[in-house]
Amino acid sequence: MIPFVDLHAQYISIKSDIDKAIESCISDSNFIKGQAVTDFEIAFAGYLGSKFCLGCGNGTDALEIILKSLNIGSGDEVIVPALSWISTAEAVNNVGAEPVFADINEKTYTIDPGCIESKISKKTKAIIPVHLYGCPAEMNEIIAISKNIIFMLLKIVLRLMAQNILIKRSELMGSPLLLVFSRVKT
Ligand SMILES: Cc1ncc(COP(=O)(O)O)c(C=O)c1O
């Protein structure tokens, strides 16, 4: 069977860089934040043309932090894709708001812009499109819908590194962007 992800092969191809980075993290005993994270935050903000980039413990925390920073909470609704990792809806629920599910496009597996409009209510505060399985959500259409009613747009970008195309600076439009790393996100 051909493995879906061969992490060992990836490691071997950049072994000396990885070993050096881990060694320096251990010798500095900088296991939380530290210089490597600061360097990444600065470099990634520069890459995005954004003023800020903040490293978080995990993607679920980052989602909640973004929602709280936007003052989203009790009495608010947030539109999320019917297909995503549980954290998308969970974070909305954890801040006291209500996740409202919009169906996905069967071709892209991402939130269907055509299904968003009927889910919008007076309580809608945000849409969380998720770029999933290497498939980018249909951002142009989603941005057009969100522009009309002026609410915020959050984005989660997965499987990004091999697909720089997923992060287009024009997509940012001043809205928060959440990038999740994990071992299966290539
Ligand atoms: C779409 C999506 N959002 C959020 C997360 C949460 O990330 P983390 O596992 O780092 O909390 C994941 C993780 O798989 C994800 O796939």
Task: Give residue-wise pLDDT tens across range 167-177.
Answer: 555 455 567 77
pLDDT at 165 over 50: no
Q: Whose Cα sits closest to atom 2 in ligand 1?
A: 85
CA of 157 to the centre of ligand 1 (A): 10
Q: Give percent above pLDDT 90 in the chain.
A: 40
pLDDT at 185 over 80: no
**Segments of the chain assigned E as strands:** 77-81, 98-102, 124-127, 130-131, 152-153, 155-157, 177-179
Residue 58, ligand 1, Cβ within 6 A: yes
Mean of pLDDT values over 82-109: 94
Q: What is the pLDDT of residues 114-142, one digit of tens each?
A: 999 899 999 998 888 887 777 778 888 88
Any domain includes 127: yes
Any domain includes 126: yes
Any domain includes 36: no
Any domain includes 48: no
Any domain includes 107: yes
DSSP lists the bridge partners of residue 124 as 77
Question: For residue 143, what pLDDT is reported?
Answer: 81
Predicted model pTM: 0.83
Any domain includes 113: yes
Question: For residue 176, what pLDDT is reported?
Answer: 77
pLDDT at 178 over 90: no
The total number of structural domains that make up the chain: 1
Residue 38, ligand 1, Cβ within 6 A: no
Q: Whose Cα sits closest to atom 9 in ligand 1?
A: 59
Mean of pLDDT values over 86-110: 94
Domain of residue 160, residue span = 56-179
Any domain includes 34: no
Please check whether residue 133 is in contact with residue 107, taking contact to mean a CB–CB distance below 8 angstroms: no
Confidence of residue 30 (pLDDT cuts 50, 70, 90): confident
CATH code of the domain in which 100 resides: 3.40.640.10
CA of 179 to the centre of ligand 1 (A): 9
Any domain includes 76: yes
Please check whether residue 116 is in contact with residue 130, taking contact to mean a CB–CB distance below 8 angstroms: no
Q: Which residue would you say has higher pLDDT here, 88 or 185?
A: 88
**Segments of 22-151 assigned E as strands:** 77-81, 98-102, 124-127, 130-131
